[in-house]
A and B are shown apart, each in its own frame.
Chain A
Amino acid sequence: DVKVTQSSRYLVKRTGEKVFLECVQDMDHENMFWYRQDPGLGLRLIYFSYDVKMKEKGDIPEGYSVSREKKERFSLILESASTNQTSMYLCASSPPTAVKNIQYFGAGTRLSVL
């Protein structure tokens, strides 16, 4: 089974802190994604990556950056956390769409910024 692991289930941070959310997948997938999930808004794409050291902005990249130094790991960085970044963050991975067009999700990290 595909496994996407997010390093923390719950995080509490203070405004202005630098926050790292880590995601690791074990299926050698090329594509990785970061979403945030908010009530009434569903999932919104923050950033995605099609390969090591490659990144593309999603729909809501402001206030976030990402890092993909290794194929299996995709990190989401909040340079200076703000209260409006309190949310559930979901990481996903997928093989090339020509192979199998399905996204596999981690369990999520619920981040609270105080």
Chain B
Amino acid sequence: GDSVTQMEGPVTLSEEAFLTINCTYTATGYPSLFWYVQYPGEGLQLLLKATKADDKGSNKGFEATYRKETTSFHLEKGSVQVSDSAVYFCALSDPNTGNQFYFGTGTSLTVIP
């Protein structure tokens, strides 16, 4: 069945460091891929998405490229800030399963000054 695997945390970085959070997926069809972010005490918010192979989603300095050949959608940011501290979830939506969403387990990021 469909699934998403993302790197386990927690991840702790210094401000201005480079961030990568790995995400790989398994899907029966051609899914859309998402990164959601959950700030402390809040619900999940869409960070970025990509709907087909080689698409790049970007928002707030974060980027992720839909790589069909490696079934990956790794999240990157060149210079993290303290305000980026949150939990990040990779997710997919597969039209072959009625576009049900499948979420990874989440990666907690803490950025220290």
Contact = CB atoms under 8 A, between A and B. Distances in A.
| B contact patch SS | strand
Nearest to A102: B46
Contacts of A104: 46
B93 A107 contact: no
A19 to B, nearest CB: 19
Interface string A3-32: 010000000000000000000000000000
Contact of A42 (B32, B51, B89, B95): B89
In this complex, the member of B34, B44, B45 whose beta carbon has the largest number of chain A beta carbons within 10 angstroms is B44
B42 A101 contact: no
Contacts of A106: 43
Interface of B: 32, 34, 36, 41-46, 49, 51, 89, 93, 95, 99-101, 103-106
Nearest to B41: A107
B111 to A, nearest CB: 20
Interface of A: 4, 33, 35, 40-43, 45, 48, 90, 92, 97, 101-108
27 contacts: A4-B43, A35-B103, A40-B105, A41-B105, A43-B103, A45-B100, A45-B101, A48-B100, A90-B43, A92-B44, A97-B99, A101-B32, A101-B51, A101-B93, A102-B34, A102-B46, A102-B49, A103-B44, A103-B46, A103-B101, A104-B46, A105-B36, A105-B44, A105-B45, A107-B42, A107-B43, A108-B42
B106 A101 contact: no
In the complex, which of the residues B36, B45, B51, B99 has the most CB atoms of chain A within 10 Å of its own CB atom? B99
